[in-house]
Amino acid sequence: MSSSEQPARQDARVSTGVPGLDAVLGGGLVSSGVYIFVGEPGAGKTLFANQLCYHQGRAGARCLYVTLLAESHARMLANMRDMAFFDSALLPEGVYYVSGFRTLEEHGLPGLLELLRREVRNHNASILVLDGLVQAQEAAGSSRDFKKFIHELQVAAGLTRFTALLLTSANGPAVHPEYTMVDGILELRERTQGVRSWRELQVRKFRGSPTLHGVHAFRITSDGLEVFPRLESRVQRTPPPDPGAHRLHFGVPSLDALFPEGLAAGSTSLLLGPPGAGKTLLGCSLLAEGLKQGEHCLYMGFYEPPNRLLGKVASAGIDLGGAMADGRLNFIWQPPSECILDVLADQLLSDVRRRNVKRVFVDGLSAMQQASPEPARINSFFAALTQELRCTGTTTLFGMETPRLFGPVLDVPMEVGPSAVAENLFFLRHVELEGRLRRLLSIFKMRDTHYDPTLREFVITPQGIEVLPPFSVAVDTLLTGLARHPGTGHF
């Protein structure tokens, strides 16, 4: 065997140039492999293949793009000119387009295979894209002929050292028996629920290394494709670092006095309460105290844009504008309309790691759940997100709305979901007492820390938040929101 026929190293990888996809694939495509990308028309296969070609072309590789479609190359290029990855300077040396439509029509699969071999040699291509595999499959005289075509393409890829991407539309079953011969099968699809839709990618088969299992979200923008690996599939399995004796406070003396030791660094707290109970102000107090300690902080919200939030907290004596201006505090705002959980996790965790954030307040866990197309996933997602944040040593507070302003029913999910994962649980409540609506605060649980469990009223003033002493008179049924003095029978 000559040196040109030596098989490629099995651990050599080909970067796709698609953010997030190489992580899903365990490092990229295996060099000299043959891969099938399957999906319905419009799923993003052609865009993905071109993005990979231009990425590889910029790195010095030569890419051959062969189409079996009636669409002209001029129209394909016109559709890509506004994409950020497109670079006309790479044409035709880095990326070269060839039409195999007529060859397939006149000479069948043997003629197409010869065309592919010849063009790969002539252009010294290390990447081959065959766009329109379904046409080749339809032109095959039998299933055996199509299997033979795939096999001979695999042999050529191994000998000539090129990586082949075969794009095909979903026609009948998503994965045909013939496809099992290749090194990998990736499926791109678009899902619809009601009036909204989103895109997903799944690795059906991949030889050479383990991949991230399950379904992963992706989106198409002017930058091309971007994949967001499913958070649960990539969560760290190692225990988080030991925080030691480091403790944190809210910076509200009357509140911090209820648990003098403070919150454990790297812990997760859940702040439950109805709208208007004071969750946002308490969360921003935690951030403001962190900023005073020289820590970088992050606010992720769903209800109020940054400018409105800054004005709201400033009216309660919390100034965050300066920290936002100098970069110590970052705002991530997502309108509560449509969101993809893994996109939100990527934004949050990327900022935490990039800026070494030590305190995070997520204002609106309920909005995240309701805006997601998969609300039932919130429990496993929350567990994975908190694990990732703990591993970075970040102390996190999540605000979560309860639906009732007040009444005899308490909406506190204690056994499952976020409430079971969080180490600390604070509960806010409106209570009607003596003809006035008051705010009530209580601590339901706090792991490894002594705390005062008494029910306290807290007030919001222009000077800030103040937690008042326990009620001076006996009052029953405070937590129901409809309090009364015992023995009087009156509220």
Q: In this predicted model, what pLDDT tens digit does every residue of 469-487 receive, in sequence order?
A: 886 555 555 555 455 555 5
Q: Is residue 343 part of a domain?
A: yes
Q: Is residue 376 part of a domain?
A: yes
- Domain tally, the chain: 2
What single-letter amino acid sits at 120? Answer: V
Q: Is residue 451 part of a domain?
A: no
Do 416 and 385 belong together in one domain? yes
Do 97 and 196 belong together in one domain? yes
pLDDT tens for each residue of 301-327: 998 899 999 999 999 999 999 999 999
pLDDT tens for each residue of 351-401: 999 999 999 999 988 887 776 777 778 888 999 999 999 999 999 999 988
Q: Is residue 301 part of a domain?
A: yes
> Which pLDDT value is given to residue 279?
93
298 sits in which H/E element: strand 297-301
Q: Could you tell me the pLDDT band of residue 195, with boundaries at 50, 70 and 90? A: confident
> Which pLDDT value is given to residue 172?
53
Q: Is residue 158 part of a domain?
A: yes
Do 35 and 163 belong together in one domain? yes
Do 139 and 81 belong together in one domain? yes
Does residue 3 register a pLDDT over 60? no
> Which pLDDT value is given to residue 415?
43
- Of 425, 456, 483, the one marking the end of a domain is 425
pTM of the predicted structure, to 2 decimals: 0.86
Lowest mean pLDDT among 189-193, 277-281, 323-327, 419-423: 419-423
Q: Is residue 475 part of a domain?
A: no
For 191, the domain range is 3-229
Q: What would the two tokens of residue 153 be?
A: 């393409």
> Which pLDDT value is given to residue 274?
87
Do 113 and 186 belong together in one domain? yes
**Of the ranges 280-289, 338-347, 396-405, 467-476, the best mean pLDDT one:** 280-289
Calculate mean pLDDT across residues 42-52.
Answer: 95
Do 153 and 293 belong together in one domain? no
Alpha-carbon gap, residue 341 to 52, rounded angstroms: 26
- Of 375, 405, 425, the one marking the end of a domain is 425
Calculate mean pLDDT across residues 177-204.
Answer: 89
- Of 173, 195, 229, the one marking the end of a domain is 229
Nearest to 311 by CA among 320, 303, 302: 320
SS3 category, 100: coil
pLDDT tens for each residue of 101-160: 999 999 999 999 999 999 999 999 999 999 999 999 999 988 899 999 999 999 999 999
Provide the mean pLDDT of the chain: 87
Do 222 and 319 belong together in one domain? no
Helix axes 73-80, 45-58, angle to 10 degrees: 80
pLDDT tens for each residue of 58-113: 999 999 999 997 668 888 899 899 999 999 999 999 999 999 999 999 999 999 99
Q: Is residue 490 part of a domain?
A: no
Q: What would the two tokens of residue 150 be?
A: 């795939």
Q: What would the two tokens of residue 136 be?
A: 């080749």
205 contacts 168 by C-beta, under 8 angstroms? no
> Which pLDDT value is given to residue 5?
37
39 contacts 166 by C-beta, under 8 angstroms? no
Do 224 and 274 belong together in one domain? no
Do 27 and 143 belong together in one domain? yes
Do 182 and 271 belong together in one domain? no
Cα dihedral sign, 464-465-466-472: positive
Q: Is residue 299 part of a domain?
A: yes
CATH number at residue 409: 3.40.50.300
pLDDT tens for each residue of 222-268: 999 999 999 999 887 778 877 777 899 999 999 999 999 999 999 99
Do 42 and 133 belong together in one domain? yes
CB atoms within 10 A of CB 338: 13
Do 91 and 121 belong together in one domain? yes
* Cross-strand partners of 66: 98, 130
